[in-house]
């Protein structure tokens, strides 16, 4: 059975849409800032960041990294609060 180029394109798109996108640690690090902002505001994770959320489920290194970033961010906020108070 042969596919036409159009059918192949359709097939490729369906595969991308149905499979959760796997990203590597570099790609994760580049996009984690947006994800941090979302969880800090307590917002639901938007569809374009689900692969970032998925990566911390499969990669303990990046999960630790995210924990550190969250601590750092809350420390900065606490410092700023003390200075302005």
Nearest Cα to Cα of residue 51 among 62, 67, 43, 41: 62
Q: CA-based Rg of the chain, rounded to a whole angstrom?
A: 19
Least gap, CB of 20 to Zn ion (angstroms): 15
Least gap, CB of 62 to Zn ion (angstroms): 3
Secondary structure E strands in the chain:
none
Among 25, 33, 70, 73, binds Zn ion (CB under 5 A): 25
Q: 31 or 38: whose CB is closer to Zn ion?
A: 31
Q: Does 62 bind Zn ion (CB under 5 A)?
A: yes
């Amino acid at each position: 059975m042969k596919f036409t180029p159009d059918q192949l394109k359709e097939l490729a798109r369906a595969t991308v849409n149905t499979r959760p996108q796997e990203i590597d640690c570099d790609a994760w690090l580049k996009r984690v800032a947006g994800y941090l902002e979302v969880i800090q505001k307590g917002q639901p994770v938007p569809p374009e960041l689900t692969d970032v959320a998925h990566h911390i489920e499969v990669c303990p290194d990046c999960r630790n990294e995210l924990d550190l970033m969250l601590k750092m961010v809350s420390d900065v906020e606490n410092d700023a609060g003390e200075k302005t108070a």
